[in-house]
Amino acid sequence: MDMRENTEMTFRDRLYGEKAQELFQPIVPKITHISSLVVNEAKEKFSIPKYIDGKHLDVRWIASDAVRACAGLLDGDINKHHISISYGFPVSIYKDAILFPQMCTRHFSDAKYDELFNILDYGCGRKNILPAGTSHESTKIDFFIYSLVWIYLHEQSHLFQCHWQFLKNASASDDGEFNYFIEDAEFSLFLQQDVSERDAWLRHCLELAADYEAANLTFQYLLFKESGVLRVKALWILIAGLTCLFHKFYGNRRDYHNGNAIGTHPDPSFRMRNIFASIMALLENEHVQRYFETGAEPDLYNNAMFHAFNVANMYMKIAHFDDNSFPEFMTRFSDRGDEFRKYTSGINILWRDLREQILRMHFGWRDVSIMPELHFVEQPA
C-alpha cells in the first residue's frame, strides 16, 4: 500500500476495511507471540509468587478471533485455576495501538481541535497530543502492553478474591467461569447473560472489585516498568488504553441502566469511572507521591488522565463508530443523576458484606487491593 492510498483511507477503513484486514493478517503470528511474552511477564511478577501451598495457575490461549477472556477452576478443583484469553483480544488491542497514535499526531493536529486541546493542555502544549517524551512506536508498544496486562490482572483478581465461591453459593453452579463476549465486528454489544436481579447485583460487585484490584496492580506495573518512577506519560497511555477498551465494550449507544443492576456486568462507562476514581485516589496517597516525577503534583497526573480520556473517546467515535457526535460513553461517565446514585448505593449495600468475606479469603497482594466503598471524585467543570 503506497502512502497516498494509505492517507486517503478513513480511520475506520484502516481498522475494518477489506484491504486493511488483508495487510494486517501476516503480522498476527507476531502479535500472538508478543502477547504470550507480555502475559508471561505479568504471570511471573504478579501470579507465581502467590501460587504456593498446592495452588496452581494454568494460563491458556484460545485459538479464536473472538474477543474473550475468562478465569475459573479446572475440573472444579479449588486449587487448580486457569486464565484463558482468546488471540482475538490482543489482536483487537494491537489494531488500536497502531492507529491511535497516528490519529493523535495526524488528525487531532487539525485547527478545528485547537479550542478543545487548549483547554485540556496539561503542560505539553496544544500540538503535543501524545505526551512529551513519547513517539508513535513507544506509544504503540506501551498502549498494547498496559491494556493486555490489565486484562490479565482483571482475570487474576477474580481468582485471588475467590469470586467463584460466591457465584457457586448464589447459583449452585460449580463452573466458576467469568466470561467476556464482545461482538467482534463492531464491538458494539456486550452480550449479557440473562440472570436474576439478585445475581446481577452480586456479579456487578465482583466485576467492579476485579477492575479495582487490576487497576491497583497495573499501577504497580507502571512503577516496575519505569524503574520506580510514576511517569506522567505512562499514566496517560494507560488511561487512553483502558478508555478505548471500555468504550469498545460500551459501543456507540447503550440502554440506560436506570439505577438497576442488569445482566452479568456493569455499564462499561461506570466501570471506567470507578477505575478512574480509584487511580485519582491513589495519586492523593503520600506513599504513592514519593514515586512522582521530580516537582510533579497530583493535579498534573489528574489533568493528564482527563486529557487521555478525552483523546481516546474522540478516537473511538471516529475510528470505530465513524461518528463525530459527542460520545454517549462520556456522558454516562460523567453521570451524577439520581439513577447513578441509586446504582452506587445498591453496590455499596451489598459490597459492605462481601468485602469482609473477600478480605478473609483473598490470597493476593495486600488488602489495599480490595475495593473500598464507592466514593466518586467529580470531574472538573
Residue 170 confidence (pLDDT) above 80: no
3 state DSSP class of 61:
strand
For residue range 99-130, list pLDDT tens digits in order: 999 999 999 999 999 999 999 999 888 888 99
Residue burial 43-74, b: 16+ Cβ < 10 Å; e: rest: beebbeebeeeeeebebebeeeeebbbbbbbe
Percent of the chain with pLDDT over 70: 90
Higher pLDDT, 83 or 167: 83
DSSP letter at 124 equals: S
Listed by start position, the domains of the chain span 94-174+196-369
Residue 180 confidence (pLDDT) above 60: no
Higher pLDDT, 23 or 266: 266
What is the rounded average pLDDT of the residues 243-263? 92
Round the average pLDDT of the chain to a whole number and report it: 88
Q: Give me the sign of the Cα torsion angle 104, 107, 111, 116.
A: negative
What is the rounded average pLDDT of the residues 150-159? 96
Contact 88, 64 (CB under 8 A): yes
